[in-house]
Amino acid sequence: MIDGFQKVLILGGSGFVGRHLCEHLAAHPWRITVPTRRLRNAQHLSTQPKVTLLEANIHHPAELQRLVAGHDAVVNLVAILHGSAADFERVHVTLPTQLAQACHAQGVHRLVHISALGADAQHPDTLPSMYLRSKSLGEAALLAASKVPTSPSNQPAMQLTMLRPSVLFGSGDRFLNVFASLQRLFPLVPLAGAQARFQPAWVEDLAQAIVYCLNYPHHTVGKTFEICGPEVLTLKQLVQGAGQWAGIANGQGRPVVGLPMWMGRIQAALMQLAPGEPLMSPDNLDSMRVDNVATGRLPSLKDLCITPSSVRSIAPLYLSTTSQLDVLRGR
C-alpha cells in the first residue's frame, strides 16, 4: 500500500472494458498499472492521474512476473473473439496459467478474472465453439491454481473471483455501434444467428462489479458471478434496436433479414476473410448455438449490490451521438 492506496495491475486495461474500469477505479483508493504492447494504443488513459502505463509483452512469462510484482491485486480482462485454435489457446488458456504462476511466484494473491457467460470449467469439451472451450479451460486452470496451498501457512495461494459477462454494450462498444453503422450504409441487414438469445450487460455495470470485487474480497473470493442485464433479447431484436436507438430511418431502423444457418456460415466465412477485425466468424456462430443468458444458478450483479441497467434505457443515450463511420473505421 502506497500513501493509503493499493496497487492493481490491469491486463487488457487499454481496451473497451479497461477504459471504463479505470474511470470507475479513479474514485477509489487504487493506483493502477496498465501494460500495453504499444504506448500509443493506451494514450486515452494517459490523462488519468492514478494510471501508470508500461510498454510490455504480457505473453512473456518473465516479463509478466516483473509486472505482477509489487501489486496487491490483478484484474485479467484479456480476451479475443476471433482467431485460430492456437490463438484462443494462447490468450484464454496459456496466459491465465502463466498469470497464476506469476502471482504465486510474486506473492500476489488477489485475482479477478473476466471469463464469459456460457463457459463451463467442469465440462469444456461439451461446448460448441473454440471461444467457449478455451474460456472454460482458462477458468479450469485458475481454479486449479487457486486450490494449491502456500507453505508454511497452508492457505490458498490465490484469492480468485471470476465474472462471466454476457455480450457487453456501452459507449465505444463494437457491438451495437457497428450494427447501427451498417444500417446507415445499407438499406437492409442480412443476419446470421438472428434467433440467438442474449442477456446484454452494460459495460459500466461490469466495471462497477470489478471494483466491488476488489474492494470487498471477503464477499467475493471463491465465487463466480454471472454479469447480465435485466432483458433477454434475440440478436435480431438487438440489431433492430441498434438502428432504432440511433434514429436511423426516422427511428424505424432498417429491415433485418435472418439467414438460414448454411447461408449464415458462408456469410461469416467471407467476413472472416475481410481486412481488419471481422464482424462475425464461423466460431461466433458456433458460440451462438448456446443461449447467452444467465443460468440463475450462480450469483449475479444484484449480489454485488448493483441493479443491472437495460439496453433499452442506455443504448439511445450513446448511439444517437456516435459518429457511425468512425466506429466502422475503428476510431
> Could you state, in order of their start, the residue ranges of all structural domains in the chain?
6-165, 170-198+231-292+309-328
Give 19-24 contacts, CB < 8 A, sequence gap 24+: 19/44, 19/45, 19/172, 20/170, 20/203, 20/204, 20/206, 20/207, 21/75, 21/77, 21/207, 21/210, 21/211, 22/48, 22/50, 22/51, 23/48, 23/207, 24/204, 24/207, 24/208, 24/210, 24/211
Grid cell 500500500 in the structure block, residue: 1
In tens digits, the chain (331 residues) has pLDDT values of 445 689 999 999 999 999 999 999 999 999 999 999 999 888 899 888 899 999 999 999 999 999 999 999 999 999 999 999 999 999 999 999 999 999 999 999 999 999 999 999 999 999 999 999 999 999 999 999 998 765 555 555 689 999 999 999 999 999 999 999 999 999 999 999 999 999 999 999 999 999 999 999 999 999 999 999 999 999 999 999 999 999 999 999 999 999 998 888 888 888 777 666 777 889 999 999 999 999 999 999 999 999 999 999 999 999 986 444 344 444 4
Alpha helices in 259-310 (DSSP H): 261-273, 282-287
Give 246-255 contacts, CB < 8 A, sequence gap 24+: 246/180, 246/183, 246/184, 246/319, 246/320, 246/322, 246/324, 247/319, 247/320, 248/180, 248/183, 248/184, 249/183, 253/183, 254/183, 254/186, 254/187, 254/188, 254/189, 255/187, 255/188, 255/189
Of 330, 329, 20, 294, nearest in space to 165 by CA: 294
The topology under which CATH files domain 6-165 is: Rossmann fold (3.40.50)
Contact by Cβ (8 Å): 94, 252: no
Contact by Cβ (8 Å): 165, 271: no
Q: Is the alpha carbon torsion for 208, 209, 210, 216 positive or negative?
A: positive
Q: What is the CATH number of domain 170-198+231-292+309-328?
A: 3.90.25
Backbone angles phi, psi at 46, to 5 degrees: -65, -20
Residue 326 is predicted with a pLDDT of 44
Backbone angles phi, psi at 210, to 5 degrees: -65, -45
Residue 157 is predicted with a pLDDT of 67
- Say if pTM beats, i.e. exceeds, 0.75: yes
